[in-house]
Amino acid sequence: MSAVAIEGVWKFYGDYPALRDVRLEAERGACLALIGRNGAGKTTLLRVVAGFSRPGRGKVQIFGNEPRETETRRQMGFIGHGISVYDELSAFENLMLYAKLYNLPNPKKSAMEWLERTGLERVRNGLVREFSRGMRQRLAVARAFLHEPTVLLLDEPFTALDDKAITVLQKLLKEALAAGKTIVMSTHQLREALELATHVALLNRGQVAFHGPRTPEMVSDPGYVYARYGEG
């Protein structure tokens, strides 16, 4: 059973199909990079996989379950465009909030552990609105990893990050892959993404234009996939 199976997914905005018959799979321990131009449907697809919006046709299965099932959501980590933490709460309070929502056995311990892993334990009682950009992003990473998800969905994870946050995130993602977790990410940062990716899918106007394992050519020339398969 694949970790993430996208089976013939269509998504409509009115009559306009933003996703057309998308079929993709990611095995346990795989990292699937979704690439494509703006408006190709990468974010839409990730939101459907995450269960934020329902597909018009087709279905998504995460370890054989629907995305909206409680059990699935417990296994899923999502990093979107925003940092998804509250400016008015402290770093610790933010992580405690999510730890409680995910019903972690020891919320305090998990929160402290992730503050430490993202280098925020010194400022744990500071309000997020006083944080620098980099600190906010690291907290966002801590928030997404807090409940030890087995499937990670990342929407443009490297775009807004500073160097330190990129380092933290890449280290975490490599560890996650090594531990057999599954990653699906959309990205423009081909170099960072292709280094991690085991598979690549190119979306073009809501359709899968290419899907296959990452090859050495792609790493040496990030424009290779586009040149070869896309945008004719």
Q: Which residues of the chain form contacts with other proteins (CB under 8 A)?
A: 12-16, 18, 39, 50-54, 56, 68, 70-71, 73-74, 76, 78, 80-89, 93, 97-98, 100-103, 127, 143, 205-206
Q: Of 76 and 169, which CB lies nearer to other proteins in the complex structure?
A: 76
CB of 20 to other proteins, least distance (A): 11
Q: Of 38 and 220, which CB lies nearer to other proteins in the complex structure?
A: 38
Q: Of 27 and 93, which CB lies nearer to other proteins in the complex structure?
A: 93
Q: Of 17 and 119, which CB lies nearer to other proteins in the complex structure?
A: 17
CB of 213 to other proteins, least distance (A): 28
CB of 218 to other proteins, least distance (A): 25
The CA distance from 92 to 139, in Å, is 9
CB of 123 to other proteins, least distance (A): 17
CB of 155 to other proteins, least distance (A): 9
Q: Of 87 and 217, which CB lies nearer to other proteins in the complex structure?
A: 87
Q: Of 150 and 218, which CB lies nearer to other proteins in the complex structure?
A: 150
CB 188 within 8 A of CB 157: no
The phi and psi torsions of 103 (rounded to 5 degrees) equal 55, 45
CB of 208 to other proteins, least distance (A): 16
* Size of the chain, expressed as the number of residues it contains: 232
CB of 33 to other proteins, least distance (A): 21
Residue (of 93, 92, 97) closest to 118 by Cα position: 92
The phi and psi torsions of 197 (rounded to 5 degrees) equal -65, 140
Q: Of 15 and 163, which CB lies nearer to other proteins in the complex structure?
A: 15
